[in-house]
Structure 1
Amino acid sequence: MARQSALIAGAATALICALIPIASLAQTQSKPASEATKAANAAVLNSLPFSDKQDFEDAQRGFVARPEKLTIKDAKGNVVWDLEQYKTYIGDDKPAPDSVNPSLWRNAQLGLHYGLFKVTDRIYQVRGYDLSVMTFIQGDTGWIVGDPLISTETAKAAYDLVSENLGKKPVVAVIYSHSHVDHYGGVRGIVDENDVKSGKVRIIAPEGFTEEAVSENVIAGNAMSRRAIYMYGALLPRSPVGGVSGGLGPTTSTGTATLIVPSETISKTGTKLTIDGIDVEFQMTPGTEAPSEMNTFFSQFKAMWMAENTTHTLHNLLTLRGAKVRDAAAWARFLQQTIDMFGPNIDVEFASHHWPMWGHERIIDYLKKQRDLYKYIHDQSVRLMNEGYTGVELSNMIKLPKELDQSWFNRGYYGTVKHNSRAVYQRYMGFYDANPTTLDELPPEEAAVKYVEYMGGAPAIIAKAKGDFDKGQYRWVAMALKNVVFADPSNKEAKELLADAYEQMGYQAESGPWRSVYLQGAYELRHGVPNSGGIDTASPDTIKAMSPELLFDYLGVRLNGPKAEGKKIGLNINFTDLNKKYALFVENGTLNYSPKFVETPDAMLTLTKNTLDSIQLKTTTIDDAIAAGDLKVEGNKQSFSDFLGLLDTYPFWFNIVTP
């Protein structure tokens, strides 16, 4: 059982916070920007309103204080957040290098305006201390904190900054806006769970928060975590040819992610609470940016906290690390509801990423354009889908109208029009584009061999690819050379040229995640797949919050079906602390569970959920638990071992850009 702990729980946490220290890997041999890339990036300067400096004014408005240097370490002295490595090459006075899309560079410049800022009376934010933003609302006796970042270390540092400059006050309440780890992971850095249990501190979250926070990425957690290395640029050097911006913020912290289960949940739009003298009203927005999410209105200050439903970027309908497709139409409807319910009374808007906005008319225009951004992508994707276009085709056809495209807050620094329109197609139509060829395609390696054969062999393809590379046709070069690499992964010349193409595509990308994906792909083609690093996907708080049912679902997808073929195993499990009984049974190559015991089990296990948690967390073993009397096994103990032997342990460092 101990070996199942590595990936059972905490997978959602691992996606963006259990990342690999950059220093643990060799630096990539980056190439300079090509002439085609220089021209493409120069064209961006002429296509967008760079003379508009309003965002820079807003990002600095209300400044209170900041440390001269911002490097945050954990208790062992390991750096978990370091803004200094970005400050060495990014600044408001520094023009975009040839190797960075000027629009993404602008986003990166804005992201480096860090420190403590006053939003409006009694509302403050600490920005630049993590991927997300931490909000402090001054109550009558203490602080109401909104979204305490990813890591305990960064959250504590933000709280310390507030205390140093505004006076030491206790945290009396925490509001989680939604179920992604960058909005709750640092909670234990500012709150003692005993104070929550005693009622001294309130933790408020939208309905379904705990289930979604624990479960959203557990089932596919290993694949998502590996892909997150690409999406967030965890391994990339911080330089003009490496990591620049994550789109929502510089990058993700790598400290200790935690979870305290909410003491109160909000289930209905219009719910009003008074928290330490502050009146708040909630708007439920499930299925938008997160499965469990809510906006919060502070009526006394005419201030609207939009969670992550509006930020200064187009968000993802389908995140590149992988997740269920989000509903763009519902997203737009909820933003319309925000305008209808709260619009007349909003003078200040702020969110869980980026900087606030002031002025009623500006805010309403902003909300309408963000609403129409998602509605336009949805409606035009469905329109073209109904005209017979596939996801790939329509993604190359949809262009935003000028009034949406020229608004800086609608630019694709995180999500993009291209991959979001394909996500809309996927939501409605799935993987199959109705062309019979795609119904039963050959696997990539088999197809690659035939492509290379049909195209005249690897040397001929490489020769033609070099010509197209010189013309700046990097997308096609990548498509062609992918087949050469998959047909023969030992072909160094093909891998190098493919890496060069990915690199130039990364240099041109406006989206932070797109840049990271391309540059990480280039890195792995040049250096190979990493095989070590600081990966630890088991978060104790997440494991403890898992229900037995969720654990059993996860064990089901870990069961190796071919190995289980012909085997029948029945296990009864009695959780004495939960007063719950379950049966696990393997038959027909599958694992199922039931709240009713099987009549003749192979073995009966009696233990507490805490014991199971300890086994998963590797703080004890099965044998030690039995010896201590914490685990009792009746019947055929070997059947339990046989069952565990059928569970796969996933390799984290699976190949992506090579077969």
Structure 2
Amino acid sequence: MPELIFSRSLTYTAYTSKPGLSDHELSDSSQPAMNTVEFLFVLLVCALAAFVGYQVQLSSKKPELSTRVIRDMVAEKELVEHSKEFQKKEIRKVSDNIYMGIGYALGNAIMVIAPDGLIIVDVTESSMAAKEILAEFRKITQKPIKAIIYTHHHTDHIGGVGGFIEDPSNLPDIWAHEQLPLEIRKFHTTAYGAKFKRSMRQFGVFVTKDKFQNAGIGIQLNYGKAKDSMGFILPNKLLEEMELDTNIAGLDVRLMKIPGETSDQIGLWVPSYKAFMCADDIYRAFPNIYTIRGAPARDPVAWYTSLQRMLDLKPEYLVPSHTQPIIGKENVQKVLEMYRDGIQFVHDQAIRFINKGYSPDDVVKHVIMPDKLRLHSHLREFYGTVPWSVKGVFQLYLGWFSGDPVDLFPLSNSDKASRIVALAGGVSEVLSAAIKAWNDNDIQWALELASYVLVVDDRNAEARKLKVDCLTLLGMRNINAIASNYYITSALETSGALHLEIDDKHRAEIIQALGARELFELVTTMYKYEECGGRSDVVVFEIIDKKELYTIQLRNFVAIMRDDIRPEQYDLRVRATEQAVKTMMAERIVNVRLRDLKDFKLEGSEEKFRNFMACFESDWNK
């Protein structure tokens, strides 16, 4: 942890008690006796003077924001050092027939040279990065790309596929697990607006260069570059079994389902090369058993079981889709054992203390990894953390309820904040306590108190500045890259320097990647019932080029999407191509002249259709 630099010696003086008269002053017999009226008058004057003095003392003793200890914003040294793992763009030779591109994007791209061509395992999130990597691969071999393998559905493994497509009219085989298409649809249609913002914070996409270190498992997430794009091509070869022995490009391989970071994850075992492409089941950082960008907790038992299956193969080369490869049978065995056992330790000990009846936060306090595990190079908490994982295990088995009846129907954060501020004596008192906490180096408490003030008084500049500084300092001190990035991005948002939204380019790319079904499913989650709850419209969408029919009905404060009925009665009917529907949604219906929209025909009133569409949010991230 970096040393704290103090600009001056400052301490916080506790409020003194109200001064009063001493016993000697009240009982000294040498003074002339006072009658009752005189005594009461003197007592009243003294009390008034004491009250005024107390108020002056209060105001003079409260630390002002300008007198806070100044703390040095120095990045955590071990996290800075971790950047060396992937900060250099390079084509790493793993063996004579396996190469990997690392440092170009968040994810790696792996080239396996087979007798009849190339197998590309994962394609990064960026078409620009993929093209760079392919250009370097082409300096090694000119063999054609016969197959691409998506190890799982995360964008940093599939988004750059366009960079590896050399002939769009002759696509290679694209392999994935059978669950992958469904997982992609779920990812982009379920709480995507929230997940997008959290992802931008987690990966530090908008963190300034002077504060950004890395993204934990890669140098950075490529997002938002003008000439870049995140695309996707559906797989045409699906793994349906736990294992499949097959031949790709003249090479005997085994495709294996290896659930861990995702349930649709697959790995590639090449027996003749003694190499295993392990996707995201292992990387040089503690695993993300729970990810703060938002997702169901991952199953630790499935994860360490997958690692055990890798161990049993006894590979000599372990090639992950993030961070550097592990080479040598003994090295591979040692790393796999420690990684596997580290995950089991966190799972088992979390269950142990859950069964004692502890709440999630108390379980966290009890699950501390022994140094042999904690200090291992592949279990340092650069990406996932033990506390997040413990809470993930709790959520996986018991859900959100802590077990404490206080949590059955708790106060909202805003209600709790207003009551705490009132209990503490008002905004001034809470802010004073927050500054004291800052001066005492109790930064988390200072952050919480400043946040309470802002809930009650959003325009309080002192509280806002203090919160920004707390978030920034916590970010700079943290060994965990995604926690660091999340803190610092949140500081930018709190200061008003950043406003996270999905831009039109990215929004259009997502819409183009989804089918009509997914788009209509998404629309139902955007229904503004408070504005349209009394309506009972039925609108039919006929997708003429796909021969699909979808109905959206407003009823009982919900929007119901059906694809299995052909209603006899409806209010409006749209006959359009899938692309026309996508264009309508990408342009946010309010900006579209329906009559000028190609391949889009509306049967019924345009005004009524616009009123119907106005019942839904104009964007899913608002």
TM-score range, shorter chain: 0.7 to 0.9
Q: 2:254 aligns with which of 277, 281, 284?
A: 281
Q: Does 1:427 align with 2:396?
A: yes
Which one of the candidate residues 171, 175, 180 is aligned to 1:209? 180
Secondary structure of the 1:166 match is: coil
Corresponding residue of 1:472: 441
Residues 628, 486 of structure 1: alpha-carbon distance in 2 compared, 3 angstrom cutoff: closer
Looking at structure 2, the residues matched to 162 and 192 of structure 1 have their Cα atoms a distance apart, in angstroms, of 13
Letter in 1 for 2:534: G
Q: What SS is found at the alignment partner of 2:507? A: coil
What do residues 251-280 of structure 1 show as CA deviations (whole Å, max 9, x unaligned)? 111221111111211121220221212221
Tell me the alpha carbon deviations over residues 476-509 of structure 1, each in whole angstroms, 9 at most, x when there is no partner.
2222222112111211112222222222221221
Distance 1:621 1:455 in 2: 48
Distance (whole Å) between structure 2 residues aligned to residue 477 and residue 621 of structure 1: 45
Instruction: Please tell me whether residue 228 in structure 1 is matched to residue 199 in structure 2.
Output: yes
Match of 1:166 in 2: 140
- Could you tell me which residue of structure 2 aligns to residue 548 of structure 1? 516
Q: How does 1:454-493 map to 2 (within 5 A)?
A: 454-493=423-462
Q: Retained in 1: the 8 A contact 2:216–2:383?
A: yes
Partner of 1:596: 565
Q: CA deviation at 1:456?
A: 2.3
**Deviation per residue, 1:208-255 (Å, 9 max, x gap):** 21221232242211111122222111221112xx10011011111122
Which blocks of at least 5 consecutive residues in structure 2 are unaligned? 7-71
CA distance in 1, matches of 2:487, 2:601: 51
Q: Which residue of 1 aligns with 2:162?
A: 188
**Is 1:179 aligned to residue 148 of structure 2?**
no
| 1:452 to 2:421 alignment | yes
- Is the CA contact (8 Å cut-off) linking 1:121 and 1:301 kept in structure 2? no
Q: Deviations for 1:589-623, whole angstroms, at most 9, x for unmatched residues?
A: 10112210222111222222232233334499997
Cα drift, residue 458 of structure 1:
2.4
Please state how far the C-alpha of 1:451 moved relative to its aligned partner.
0.6
Partner of 1:91: none
- How far is 1:335 from its partner? 1.6
Q: 1:521 to 1:619 in 2, by over 3 A?
A: closer
Match of 1:105 among 61, 80, 87: 80
Aligned equivalents of 2:192 and 2:500: distance in 1?
A: 18
Assess, with a 3 A threshold, how the Cα gap between structure 1 residues 141 and 569 changes in structure 2: closer, same or farther.
same
Instruction: Give the equivalent residue in structure 1 for 2:531.
Output: 563
Q: Are residue 219 (structure 1) and residue 194 (structure 2) matched?
A: no
Q: Provide the rounded CA distance (Å) in 2 between the counterparts of 1:622 and 1:493.
A: 41
Separation in structure 2 between the aligned mates of residue 599 and residue 651 of structure 1, nearest angstrom: 31
Change in CA separation of 1:248 and 1:467 when aligned onto 2, cut-off 3 Å:
same
Q: Identify the match of residue 266 of structure 1 among 239, 252, 271.
A: 239
Letter aligned with residue 177 of structure 1: T
Name the structure 1 match of 2:307: 335
Aligned twin of 2:18: none
**Alpha-carbon offset, residue 295 of structure 1:** 1.0
Indicate whether 1:306 and 2:278 are aligned. Answer: yes
Q: Which letter maps to 1:186?
A: G
Q: Which letter does structure 1 place at the counterpart of 2:99? A: Y
Alignment partner for residue 136 of structure 1, among 99, 104, 111? 111
- Find 1:609's aligned residue among 578, 593, 600: 578
Query: Given the alignment, which residue of 78, 99, 122 partners 2:97?
Result: 122
TM-score (norm 1): 0.79
**Does the 8 A contact of 1:179 with 1:291 survive in 2?**
no
How do 1:234-249 residues align onto structure 2 when only pairs under 5 Å count?
234-239=205-210, 242-249=211-218
Q: Say which SS state the counterpart of residue 505 (structure 2) adopts.
A: coil
Q: Answer with 1 or 2: which has the greater Rg.
A: 2
Distance 1:265 1:636 in 2: 45
Following superposition, the deviation at residue 117 of structure 1 comes to: 1.4
Is the CA contact 2:127–2:160 (under 8 Å) kept in the aligned structure 1? yes
Higher relative contact order (CA 8 A, sep 6+): 1
Contact 2:588–2:618 (8 Å) recurs in 1: no
- Separation of aligned partners in 2, 1:335 and 1:443: 41
- 1:531 to 1:479, Cα distance in 2 relative to 1, 3 A: closer
Against the structure 1 CA distance between its residues 475 and 459, is the aligned structure 2 distance closer, same or farther, given a 3 Å change threshold?
same
Aligned: 1:573 with 2:544 = no
Q: CA RMSD in A?
A: 2.4
Q: CA 1:622–1:602 in 2, change beyond 3 Å: closer, same or farther?
A: farther
Greater shift in the superposed pair: 98-107 or 346-355: 98-107
**1:436 paired residue among 405, 413, 423:** 405
Q: Match for residue 407 of structure 1?
A: 376
CA distance in 2, matches of 1:534, 1:554: 18
Question: What is the CA deviation profile of residues 419-456 of structure 1, one whole-angstrom value per residue up to 9, with x for unaligned ones?
Answer: 11111112222222232332223322222121111112
- Distance change >3 Å, CA 361–CA 230, structure 1 → 2: same
The aligned residue for residue 582 of structure 1 is 550
Alpha-carbon separation, structure 2, partners of 1:629 and 1:250: 43
**Alpha-carbon distance between aligned partners in 2 of 1:180 and 1:650, rounded to the nearest angstrom:** 22
| Contact 2:153–2:264, Cα closer than 8 Å, also in 1 | yes
Is the 8 Å Cα contact of residues 515 and 578 (structure 2) preserved in structure 1? no
One-letter amino acid matched to 1:203? I
Say if 1:314 and 1:531 are closer, same or farther in 2 by CA, change over 3 A.
closer
- Give the deviation of 1:160 after TM superposition: 0.9
1:355 — aligned with what?
324
Mapped to 2, the partners of 1:636 and 1:521 lie a distance apart of 45
Name the CA distance, whole Å, in 1 between partners of 2:231 and 2:98: 25
- Deviation of 1:306 (Å): 0.3
1:316 Cα offset (Å): 1.4
CA contact 1:502–1:522 (8 Å) conserved in 2: yes
Residue of structure 1 in register with 2:35 after alignment: none
Of 593, 618, 621, the residue aligned with 1:649 is 618
SS at match of 2:464: helix
Alpha-carbon distance in 1 for matches of 2:156, 2:501: 24
Matched letter for residue 267 of structure 1: E
The residue that corresponds to 2:40 in the other structure is: none
Segment drifting more, 246-255 vs 466-475? 466-475
Match of 1:499 among 468, 479, 500: 468
Distance in 2, Cα, partners of 1:421 & 1:334? 20
SS in 1 for 2:194: helix
**Letter paired with 2:203:** Y
C-alpha distance in 1 between matches for 2:94 and 2:598: 56
C-alpha separation in 2, matches of 1:495 and 1:628: 47
SS in 1 for 2:159: coil
Q: Does the C-alpha gap of structure 1 residues 216 and 620 become closer, same or farther in structure 2, counting only changes over 3 Å?
A: closer
Change (3 A) 1:377 1:597: same
Residue 16 (structure 1) aligns with: none
CA–CA distance in structure 2, aligned partners of residues 534 and 620 of structure 1: 17
- In structure 2, do the counterparts of structure 1 residues 513 and 620 end up closer, same or farther at CA, with 3 Å as the change threshold? same
Give the partner amino acid of 1:578: K
- Using the alignment, how far apart are the partners of 2:547 and 2:144 within structure 1? 37
Secondary structure of the structure 1 residue equivalent to 2:200: helix
Counterpart amino acid of 1:376?
A: F
State the number of aligned residues: 551
CA distance in 2, matches of 1:521, 1:547: 33
Of the three residues 312, 318, 327, the one matched with 2:290 is 318
